[in-house]
Chains A and B, each alone.
Chain A
Amino acid sequence: MVLKAKNRLGLVFFPAFDWAISSTHPEREERLLYTRDQVEEEGLFDIDGIIEYNPKMASYKDVQRVHLCVPDEKSRMTESHLISAGGAITAAEAVIKGEVDKAFALVRPPGHHAMRVVHGARGFCNINIEAVMINYIRKHYGIKKIAIVDTDCHHGDGTQDIYWNDPDTLFISLHQDGRTLYPGSGYTDEIGGPNAVGYTLNIPLPPGTSDEGFLYALDNLILPVIEEFQPELIINSAGQDNHYTDPITNMNFSASGYATLNDRLDPHIAVLEGGYSIEGALPYVNTGIILAMAGLDYSNVKEPDFEPGRFRETARVMEHIKDVCEEVYRTWKNRSKYRQKMIKDAKYLKERRSIYYDTDGISESREEIIKICDCSGYSILTSTSDRGYTIRSVIIPWNSCPKCHKEGLEAFEKIREEKGFPSGIICLQDGINDIFIRETP
């Protein structure tokens, strides 16, 4: 009499019905209301094997493993962000502890535009909830190789930035071409920093891409790369704004397409990101993803106005998608060669960037000096915002080799001694000893 899930699925469903960026912002109280109605009406929480969890709250310490918040954590986020990140952690822990086979954190607000340094909110994101989750489970459960597949319509520039130099984190983003959509990045030539060339892969898709195009990229590029990478965990940043009804994007993906993609990708953990067609898409897409993750039949999940074949790509668009996939696959295959070409004999490389925070209207300029090594190395990052804050930090990733670790600590001591660092905050993010130090002038 009760439907039984083939996979035990943990659901962290937290619609945060009392939180909004502002009352008419897309990221508002109403966002998951209709999704809640749909999953309640479908009776998904009654299915044997689907277990609902309350999110726990992430701590500032969990955030510090990922971010450099300027001037501090307290001023850059609210409880809602800690709960959203905590929800992702709850989902991951349920899987790792073996309580469930898979988990889906249906939480808000999202996080994939939040970069290493947090001066404010970008693309509705303050902190990167997947990254907080990943660094938490690496610290507490010793998981090493992780693949993140970001299926949000917007390029996951924050996640890309955080794992830019980490060869143990494969980051693949599938999104609408940056020439036509925020944040305007995610081109095929963004392939990772000097220590992780080829471990960041971007698949920009033309506006109008529908189920066929997405599933082509999945089958012909993403799945083979993951197969070769052999991750211990697969994470899906499950943004839902590729949907044909989304008000702020231009793609033609459907609920059935999303469910099929999730089924074939078979992630251990999915985390909701964007998606603002709150009535036309989210109720159906989320139902589809939940059923797919639970191993149940999703073939009858479709939008009431869906007509099969309505959104086929033209042959030219399909050709373009195939070319992009081929190019990206070549990058993956030739990643060692590309790395050699990039680093040559350098011991350190310098990268400079300007970053705009659209939600808060902040401009940041950043410079990072990266130690070249076969591990993630370490880096010295200096960031200044037009709000008058400057921060200099030594970042020692969780997988630095002992040599890089030692050199990083020495570098931090040197910055400390240089008392003259102009009115800035100095930080040490030591992923080996799980230590975070911040000193303000």
Chain B
Amino acid sequence: MIIGLDMGGTHTDVALLENGEIYKKTKYPRQEDFLESILIPLDQIMEGEDPLAIERVLLSTTLSTNAIVEGKLGKVGMVLEPGPGLNLDYLNSIFPVCFISGYIDHRGREKFSLDMDEVRSAGRHMKEKGAQYLGIVGKFSTRNPLHEKKIYETIGPSFSYSTLGHTLSGNLNYPRRIYTSYLNSGVWEIYKQFLKAIKYSLGERKIKAPLYILKADGGTLAGDAALLRPVETVLSGPAASIMGAMALEDIEEDGIILDIGGTTTDIAFLADGVPLFEPRGIEVSGFKTLIRGLYSRPCGVGGDSLVELKDGQLKIGPERLGPAAAFGGSSPTPTDAMVIKGIYKEGSRSKAIEGLKPLADKKGVSVEEMADMIYEKTADIIVENINRYLGEVNSRPVYTIHELLHGKKLAPQKVILVGAPAPAFAEPVSKKLGIPCILPEGFEAANALGAALSRVTTELTVVADTQERTLVVGEEGIREKIPSNFSKKDAEKVLFSYLRERCIKMGGDPSSPMEIIEEEEFNVVRGFYTSGKIIRLKGQIKPGIRGDYGA
């Protein structure tokens, strides 16, 4: 059996899976204490179960996200090697920074070497500032990690933990690399304590199964492996729901996934059945990061959104005052409108009518008419947001003529709805969008299911430059010599072999499917002769549902 647990903003959902199917599920309100929010519902669901029958525990937690949002990060000092470019002085207002000299250029060539005295003094300076953790980040360090490694060797060991920028992602984007490193060092202590506690608690309950943590890209990594990059555990909630929706409903065409909650609806897209990613990385509490994550956008309307009349106009959300009137709340909500219209079969119709009556009276219409108006307006808001984000996705910048003229444009064929209030929304959204809305069986616990079924994923970037005769595997900090006849085939081999190794390190199954997600090949021409090739490949373990869940 597998335990899937998704700790959200208001509730923790837990599902117990047997042969890939939900066999038991529970929901428990969020507690002050993180551990309690997990352990109480866990104990509930495990009642009468054999702990030794558990094969895996998968957790999606808001621990790191909350620490960032609430500013409860460890004290991190940033040692940066920016070289020429954008003025980064503004970073001083966010965290303590030491700028040091030295420069690596876009092809990973060392243009200026490090001044080791300056590095040592930066370390002392950070100590004086009270930093316990370090972020060491150089411009273009993904093309050559040498300087970051040297800085670490010199001053890193006297701090509790250091993040080296190049280990987080093979992507370019210096400011994002800085922020991601900062957050990674900042959440490390909190994550470490949490991991220790959760492992202890599971041990107490005789659950000996391995622990995995969900990431924002819909994949997981082993709990211990997450200690290497704890920042990857942020914003896994939307990914849990998306993976769950995909597990519940087969889809091979373009589609939309709506995760409807009490206060918000998360919108995600599928291209030929594959979820869309954020092109540069996800944003957490205003920090733009390099963390790979599924594309998901919130829209401020959910099942329990407050419905008001403002200057005679209907206003829905973004506030929520409590559950829907039909479920014992005190204020009118879209769910009440759907209950009155008979679309949503649960809840008390009379209480829903009671909830909507003041609004109907104020507007001078019948309660049924008011319900119609809310129905229309709710669907309008969601559909408006869907269309806006669809437009955003379909106008993403492309850099080749082929993609510009023949590139894929997303044309969703159906919508999958998940989340507890989803039944109230299927009909109006379907009507407005003109495509079918599917409410798969098990929609209420899609998030816990998604967490339970996700597999270990990781990505890796290889840059081969045959003119410079170097090969760089950014995230692994590898830079080695290659012969001048090194080919794309060779690069693919290197990529897949390192990717498999990395997958094992992350706690994954070495037979997981791998794929190349980005590839570029350029001739380097100098003086009218081709003098080399630049080959860039990015590969990943395909996110998806575990193949072995039946075991």
User: Interface residues, chain A, CB within 8 Å of chain B?
Assistant: 1-3, 13-19, 23-24, 28-30, 33-34, 36-38, 40-46, 52-55, 57, 79-80, 83, 247, 279, 283-284, 287, 291, 296-297, 299-306
Q: How far is the CA of A1 from the CA of B401 in the complex (A)?
A: 35
Known pairs A13-B397, A55-B404 / 19 extra A-B pairs, C-beta < 8 Å: A2-B288, A16-B399, A18-B402, A23-B530, A24-B525, A34-B107, A40-B171, A41-B139, A42-B175, A43-B173, A44-B86, A52-B397, A54-B395, A54-B397, A80-B401, A283-B106, A287-B85, A300-B86, A306-B84
**Chain B neighbourhood of A23, CB < 8 A:** 523, 525, 530
Distance of B289 from chain A, by nearest CB (Å): 10
Interface presence of B551 (CB below 8 A): no
Q: List 12 A-B contacts (CB under 8 A).
A: A1-B179, A2-B286, A3-B90, A24-B530, A29-B522, A41-B140, A52-B397, A54-B404, A55-B404, A279-B107, A283-B106, A301-B84
Pair B522/A304 contact, Cβ less than 8 Å: no
With both beta carbons as reference points, the residue of chain A lying nearest to B176 in the complex is identified as A43
B residues 390-418 with Cβ under 8 Å of A? 395-402, 404-405
Interface presence of B83 (CB below 8 A): yes
A18, A41, A304: the one contacting B112 at CB < 8 Å is A304
B106, B399, B402: the one contacting A14 at CB < 8 Å is B399
Q: A41-B140, A283-B106 are in contact. Are A17 and B84 (CB under 8 A)?
A: no
**Chain A neighbourhood of B404, CB < 8 A:** 14, 54-55, 57, 83
Q: How far is the CA of A79 from the CA of B522 in the complex (A)?
A: 21
Pair B398/A291 contact, Cβ less than 8 Å: no
With both beta carbons as reference points, the residue of chain B lying nearest to A280 in the complex is identified as B105
Q: How far is the CA of A52 from the CA of B396 in the complex (A)?
A: 9
Q: How far is the CA of A290 from the CA of B522 in the complex (A)?
A: 25
Distance of A241 from chain B, by nearest CB (Å): 16
Interface presence of B87 (CB below 8 A): yes
Pair A42/B401 contact, Cβ less than 8 Å: no
Q: A37-B106, A55-B404, A80-B401 are in contact. Are A30 and B524 (CB under 8 A)?
A: yes
Pair B103/A24 contact, Cβ less than 8 Å: no
Q: How far is the CA of A44 from the CA of B176 in the complex (A)?
A: 11
Pair B400/A17 contact, Cβ less than 8 Å: yes
B residues 379-398 with Cβ under 8 Å of A? 395-398
B residues 156-178 with Cβ under 8 Å of A? 171-176
With both beta carbons as reference points, the residue of chain A lying nearest to B529 in the complex is identified as A24
Distance of B68 from chain A, by nearest CB (Å): 11
With both beta carbons as reference points, the residue of chain A lying nearest to B139 in the complex is identified as A41
Pair A46/B280 contact, Cβ less than 8 Å: yes
With both beta carbons as reference points, the residue of chain A lying nearest to B396 in the complex is identified as A54
Distance of A15 from chain B, by nearest CB (Å): 5
Distance of A6 from chain B, by nearest CB (Å): 13
With both beta carbons as reference points, the residue of chain A lying nearest to B531 in the complex is identified as A24
Pair B111/A305 contact, Cβ less than 8 Å: yes
B residues 485-535 with Cβ under 8 Å of A? 520, 522-525, 527-530, 534
User: Interface residues, chain B, CB within 8 Å of chain A?
Assistant: 82-87, 90, 94, 103, 105-107, 111-112, 139-140, 171-176, 179, 280, 286-288, 395-402, 404-405, 520, 522-525, 527-530, 534
With both beta carbons as reference points, the residue of chain B lying nearest to A79 in the complex is identified as B401
Distance of B223 from chain A, by nearest CB (Å): 29
Q: How far is the CA of A15 from the CA of B530 in the complex (A)?
A: 20
B85, B397, B399, B405: the one contacting A300 at CB < 8 Å is B85
Q: A23-B530, A40-B172, A46-B288 are in contact. Are A15 and B140 (CB under 8 A)?
A: no
Pair A46/B87 contact, Cβ less than 8 Å: no
**Chain B neighbourhood of A40, CB < 8 A:** 171-173
**Chain B neighbourhood of A43, CB < 8 A:** 86, 173-176, 288
Q: How far is the CA of A24 from the CA of B531 in the complex (A)?
A: 10
Distance of A295 from chain B, by nearest CB (Å): 13
State the 10 A-B residue pairs at the shortest beta-carbon distance, nearest first.
Answer: A43-B175, A304-B111, A40-B172, A41-B172, A297-B87, A37-B106, A18-B400, A302-B84, A52-B397, A1-B286
**Chain B neighbourhood of A17, CB < 8 A:** 399-400, 520, 522
Distance of B93 from chain A, by nearest CB (Å): 9
Pair A284/B140 contact, Cβ less than 8 Å: no
**Chain B neighbourhood of A29, CB < 8 A:** 522-523
Distance of A7 from chain B, by nearest CB (Å): 16
**Chain B neighbourhood of A305, CB < 8 A:** 111
B172, B280, B287, B401: the one contacting A18 at CB < 8 Å is B401
**Chain B neighbourhood of A28, CB < 8 A:** 523, 525
**Chain B neighbourhood of A80, CB < 8 A:** 401
Q: How far is the CA of A237 from the CA of B105 in the complex (A)?
A: 28
Pair A54/B525 contact, Cβ less than 8 Å: no
Q: How far is the CA of A299 from the CA of B401 in the complex (A)?
A: 34
Distance of B142 from chain A, by nearest CB (Å): 9
**Chain B neighbourhood of A1, CB < 8 A:** 94, 179, 286-288
**Chain B neighbourhood of A79, CB < 8 A:** 401, 405
Q: A24-B530, A55-B404 are in contact. Are A304 and B84 (CB under 8 A)?
A: yes
Q: A1-B179, A33-B522, A43-B174 are in contact. Are A38 and B402 (CB under 8 A)?
A: no
Q: How far is the CA of A102 from the CA of B119 in the complex (A)?
A: 41
Pair A299/B83 contact, Cβ less than 8 Å: no
With both beta carbons as reference points, the residue of chain B lying nearest to A12 in the complex is identified as B397
With both beta carbons as reference points, the residue of chain A lying nearest to B528 in the complex is identified as A24
Distance of A27 from chain B, by nearest CB (Å): 11
**Chain A neighbourhood of B405, CB < 8 A:** 57, 79
Pair B94/A38 contact, Cβ less than 8 Å: no
Q: How far is the CA of A246 from the CA of B171 in the complex (A)?
A: 29
**Chain B neighbourhood of A15, CB < 8 A:** 399
**Chain B neighbourhood of A247, CB < 8 A:** 527
Q: How far is the CA of A287 from the CA of B84 in the complex (A)?
A: 10
Pair A30/B525 contact, Cβ less than 8 Å: yes
With both beta carbons as reference points, the residue of chain A lying nearest to B90 in the complex is identified as A3
With both beta carbons as reference points, the residue of chain B lying nearest to A1 in the complex is identified as B286
Distance of B354 from chain A, by nearest CB (Å): 46
**Chain A neighbourhood of B525, CB < 8 A:** 23-24, 28, 30
Distance of A156 from chain B, by nearest CB (Å): 25
Q: How far is the CA of A412 from the CA of B298 in the complex (A)?
A: 61
Q: How far is the CA of A291 from the CA of B86 in the complex (A)?
A: 8
Pair A33/B534 contact, Cβ less than 8 Å: yes
**Chain B neighbourhood of A24, CB < 8 A:** 523, 525, 528-530
**Chain B neighbourhood of A296, CB < 8 A:** 86-87
Q: A23-B523, A46-B288 are in contact. Are A304 and B103 (CB under 8 A)?
A: yes
With both beta carbons as reference points, the residue of chain A lying nearest to B83 in the complex is identified as A304
Q: How far is the CA of A33 from the CA of B534 in the complex (A)?
A: 10
**Chain A neighbourhood of B175, CB < 8 A:** 3, 42-43, 46
**Chain A neighbourhood of B174, CB < 8 A:** 41-43
Q: How far is the CA of A18 from the CA of B140 in the complex (A)?
A: 25
Distance of A268 from chain B, by nearest CB (Å): 22
A13, A16, A52, A284: the one contacting B401 at CB < 8 Å is A16
Distance of A121 from chain B, by nearest CB (Å): 17
Pair B520/A46 contact, Cβ less than 8 Å: no
Distance of A30 from chain B, by nearest CB (Å): 5
**Chain A neighbourhood of B280, CB < 8 A:** 45-46
Distance of A203 from chain B, by nearest CB (Å): 29
With both beta carbons as reference points, the residue of chain A lying nearest to B84 in the complex is identified as A302
A13, A30, A300: the one contacting B87 at CB < 8 Å is A300
Distance of A44 from chain B, by nearest CB (Å): 8
Distance of B260 from chain A, by nearest CB (Å): 30
Pair A303/B84 contact, Cβ less than 8 Å: yes
**Chain A neighbourhood of B179, CB < 8 A:** 1
**Chain A neighbourhood of B530, CB < 8 A:** 23-24
Distance of A277 from chain B, by nearest CB (Å): 11
A2, A16, A30, A284: the one contacting B84 at CB < 8 Å is A284
Pair B86/A42 contact, Cβ less than 8 Å: yes
Distance of A296 from chain B, by nearest CB (Å): 8
Pair A54/B84 contact, Cβ less than 8 Å: no
Pair B401/A19 contact, Cβ less than 8 Å: yes
Distance of A384 from chain B, by nearest CB (Å): 33
Distance of A137 from chain B, by nearest CB (Å): 21
**Chain A neighbourhood of B84, CB < 8 A:** 284, 300-304, 306
Distance of B41 from chain A, by nearest CB (Å): 35
